[in-house]
Amino acid sequence: MDSEIGSINKIKDTEKTKTDPGGGGSQKDQQNSSQHHNHRFVHQFLKTMLVFAALALAFIVLYRSADRFQFFPTSFYNSFSSSDGFSSPDLQELKRVLKKAAMVDKTVIITTLNEAWAASNSIFDLFLNSFKIGNQTEELLNHLLVVALDQKAHAQCLKSHPYCYTLRTDGIDFSGEAYFMTADYLKMMWRRIEFLQTILEMGYNFIFTDTDIMWFRDPFPQFYPDADFQIACDYYRGNPSNLNNAPNGGFTYVKSNSKTKQFYRFWHESRNLYPGNHDQDVLNKIKRDPRIQQIGLQIKFLDTAYFGGFCQPSKDFNLVCTMHANCCVGLANKVHDLILMLEDWRKYMSQSEMNWSKQSWSVPQHCGYAVPDS
């Protein structure tokens, strides 16, 4: 009887050991518990990694779908120095000629010139002549900086103008006629934007003018005092703030401030987003970009009544300040029609004031234009 009771107690003790958590459990139970713990750890780790992967994927999609520049802080744009592409002597020479040519408020008129356009009796001679026969424009030549893109253009410039600067570009020859949208043309346009960024960073305001723009009146009275960046148009829609205006980068008035410096950096870097496009086309693509609003840039488009061209001529000789040989392909065609344009202006200036309203342009002839649908 006692042996039976002892056997029963051993069985109970054994069962208690199996079920009592304080008893340490068997070796097999310990192994099961460890495996269960490892399984939970691996599950939690994978879950965490999936969350991070989803967040990373979402960021990549957002990054690719939006303009990448709007994610960068203002300091990103200020961290670049566009003077990095200049040797120390070149930079010192640029500072010297800018100081000589600038107005009291540090505004300078800038044009670019290559050998093809600098040749005798070509575009450059017509450009300078327009200042001389314009209405009170000759004095503005004292503030004109001619940026030569090659040595021959620089030498030709010095024959007729005191403020000439050579912009060197290693490995690229800008001396010949650069036909519209060719590789050399695109390089020339983007080199120009980069150079103008440097001018802003050096604290100078500027009017940039293509050399195939004739100057007939002082443009400053027609600029908007509250604008940071003002640009001429191929086609003007009637409202200076309308982003549907078709800008032409051949004539701009830009004030040097933090907004324009950021904008020019943004504009130049945007060429990588739109390869094969020139500066004007890229401007059309970015002019509505949220980054422009974030910068706070005030843009105004200039009325073709004052700043006209062959695309949309200024109709009133009493108002016109400049006329551009735009909507025109080929150097010979430009020269032909610009000569006629200057003759038209001389005729206007020689008439009595009562006959001024009767004057009209005889151009374009070899060049052409078409007014697009509004």
Q: 113: part of which helix (H) or strand (E)?
A: strand 107-113
pLDDT in tens, 31-43: 555 555 556 655 6
Closest listed residue to residue 209, CA positions, set 253, 158, 161, 268 = 253
Average pLDDT of every residue of the chain: 82
Closest listed residue to residue 77, CA positions, set 262, 228, 212 = 262
Q: Is the pTM of this model over 0.95?
A: no
pLDDT in tens, 139-173: 999 999 999 999 999 999 999 999 999 998 765 55
**CA angle (205, 257, 88) in 5-degree steps:** 65
How large is the average pLDDT for residues 14-27? 46
pLDDT at 181 over 50: no
Domain ranges of the chain: 35-65, 77-358
How large is the average pLDDT for residues 36-57? 63
**Least confident among 67-71, 107-111, 137-141, 354-358:** 67-71
How large is the average pLDDT for residues 97-118? 96
**Least confident among 5-19, 74-88, 171-185:** 5-19
Class of 77-358 per CATH?
alpha beta
- Is residue 292 within 8 Å of residue 231, measured between CB atoms? no
Q: How would residue 358 be classed by pLDDT, with cut points 50, 70 and 90?
A: confident
Tell me how crowded residue 136 is: count the other CB atoms within 10 A of its CB: 9
Q: How would residue 86 be classed by pLDDT, with cut points 50, 70 and 90?
A: confident
Q: 9: part of which helix (H) or strand (E)?
A: helix 2-19
Higher pLDDT, 173 or 286: 286
DSSP readout, 147-182? Answer: EESSHHHHHHHHTT-S-EEE---TT----S---TTS
